[in-house]
Chain A
């Protein structure tokens, strides 16, 4: 997409995100076609808007299915995501049985597809339990199954993980930007001692710190598109930044942000949950470091 097309695309996505029928809106505007045409723009724009507007969709499934090559098989189904906190394939094989423990975003209506180290399988007989948990707005459902092994074809889970890390990194960037915006607006409006609290250096430095974290996460997510293998780092930066932004924004919003009358709480909940999906910043960083200590090689730096 060129600049003008990107602007139109972004405006259409924002409009869809503002309407109650977001999923339908995505279909109407042809987001899946955009994904095939310009993966980077389609993913970065949609997920940042999802994070910013605090809305959710099944787009993550589409992104993962595309990375796994499942989209070409004409499968119309939902992908089981790993249980919150990790990124191992949600399906494990035990003899001739397949055991699945994971989550979906939204209750699946059609087929449910689980990926294992051995390949993918369309699940029959899936148990589902809606998760309210930390972030009800993400509409998570716990999915479990214990069924006969019947692998339908190959699927490279690591490609799906990399694609999910990138998408979630962008979603966290959107969430972080929204938290910073709420805190900034509050600091400019709220007056104490006869002046806006935005005039106090302690408040200003917290907001500057949040800005630095947001820009770091944005740059990391953007750069990871250029250096395959670094998606895990982009997700780790985004999760780390979101926690930094949440901490400073919450302190600046103070009592106001602690009430449910203010939207901040939804973003905080979302940030914490998105950090956990496909591995939190802490566990991802540990995974990377463990590999570095084993091989004595740092990850390849981003090329100029």
Chain B
């Protein structure tokens, strides 16, 4: 399937679908409503084939370029059919399963994620490890037929909805070599999930507690001690298709802003349009590098910083153009929530400072830090 054909046929199909109306059209902007909408959209697009393009056939896909996935997410986000943050979990976690799970496990599980039958979460951060991920301490010890996990994760997006978790555990010595990745059933005995109330009003992050949780040996992702590679290979996926989708989301929100606000300041709008153009240009180039089979690396930190900076600029402009301070209608609630969420854009997924460290060390090759 060629991208242009895919684009044309998908657009025509979306124009005709009954389900294809914005989640905010229902007047319910809560996370439950967003999650229900996401499942519905994924099921429809999977059953019609769209969601299967760009994924390998051995996990239920139809093959073809990853650009097809890029466009699907762009089309869904541009039409405000899905919230890109929760949609992106698929783009981040499915490639990890495909690369590291046993083939039978990947073939069994990935279609469930793609079709929206299941939600997965990513258990990386811990209370003691924010930027310093390699210091994680959630421990897994071998017993007869598998691993036994005890510890805590935090900032685990969508854990309260999730059936599975890609979990990083400490199985060996301190440092990068002592980490192992596991694929854990979230209904296993001993797991407790506690959603975290956040300032933007959507409890999408959770704390997850593991208390002697048994994980079968065949649920290992990669080999014992290979968890750091799993994590490092996963991170660029946060900056490829999902970042392209987030760029489309910002475009859609900015377009909406100029439609609804009578008082958008001209100079600030101009600066935001320029930044958004640069972000999408950079992100587009990354999509093509990935589609060509290039291995994405530290240079994708450029995309991440541009996204964070642009997202904050877009919603700073929103705050200058709309009554986010005192407005209480459904639309303003959403603008306010988006504005507050954008404050975290320079924090989550590797802080702005960590991204700059990565660029300095690994792209500019400035040598070790003092």
Contact = CB atoms under 8 A, between A and B. Distances in A.
B302 A292 contact: no
A297 B284 CA distance: 22
Given A220-B278, A299-B277, A207 B266 contact: no
A212 B305 contact: yes
Interface string B284-313: 110100000000000100100110000000
A242 to B, nearest CB: 13
A215 B302 contact: yes
A302 B277 contact: yes
B264 interface: yes
A60 B282 CA distance: 26
A304 B67 contact: yes
Interface string A260-304: 000000000000000000000110111111101100111101111
Contacts, number: 150
Interface string A106-124: 0000000000000000000
Given A220-B277, A237-B278, A301-B248, A207 B67 contact: no
A198 B284 contact: no
B311 to A, nearest CB: 15
Contact of B280 (A200, A240, A301): A301
Nearest to A187: B366
Given A222-B281, A304-B74, A233 B274 contact: yes
A207 B251 CA distance: 29
A230 B284 CA distance: 15
Contacts of A224: 281
B270 A288 contact: yes
Interface string B1-13: 0010001000000
A233 B270 CA distance: 10
Given A216-B302, A298-B255, A205 B281 contact: no
B244 interface: yes
A135 to B, nearest CB: 23
Contacts of B71: 304
Contacts of A302: 277, 280-281, 284
B369 interface: yes
A36 B258 CA distance: 40
A204 B273 contact: no
A199 B364 contact: no
Contacts of B67: 304
B274 A285 contact: yes
Contacts of A198: 366-367
Given A208-B356, A302-B284, A293 B258 contact: yes
A172 to B, nearest CB: 13
Contacts of A236: 270, 274, 277
B332 interface: no
A196 to B, nearest CB: 7
A223 B264 CA distance: 27
Interface of chain B, helix or strand or loop or mixed?
A: helix
Q: Is the interface of A mostly helix, strand, loop or mixed?
A: helix
A209 interface: yes
Interface size class of B (residues with CB under 8 A): 35 or more
Q: How large is the interface on A (under 10, 10 to 19, 20 to 34, 35 or more residues)?
A: 35 or more
B337 interface: no
Contacts of B328: none
A178 interface: no
Residue picked from A200, A211, A284, A286, most chain B C-beta under 10 Å? A211
B370 interface: yes
B357 interface: yes
Contacts of A286: 266-267, 270
Contacts of B271: 240, 285
Given A188-B367, A299-B277, A204 B357 contact: yes
Interface string A193-204: 001101111001
B98 to A, nearest CB: 22
B318 to A, nearest CB: 14
Given A219-B278, A289-B270, 5 more contacts: A198-B367, A201-B357, A230-B277, A289-B266, A298-B254
Interface of B: 3, 7, 67, 70-71, 74, 244, 248, 251, 254-255, 258-259, 264, 266-267, 269-271, 273-274, 277-282, 284-285, 287, 299, 302, 305-306, 353, 355-357, 359-361, 363-364, 366-370
20 contacts: A184-B366, A212-B302, A216-B278, A217-B278, A219-B281, A219-B282, A219-B285, A222-B281, A224-B281, A234-B281, A240-B274, A284-B274, A285-B274, A289-B270, A292-B258, A293-B266, A296-B258, A297-B258, A299-B277, A301-B248
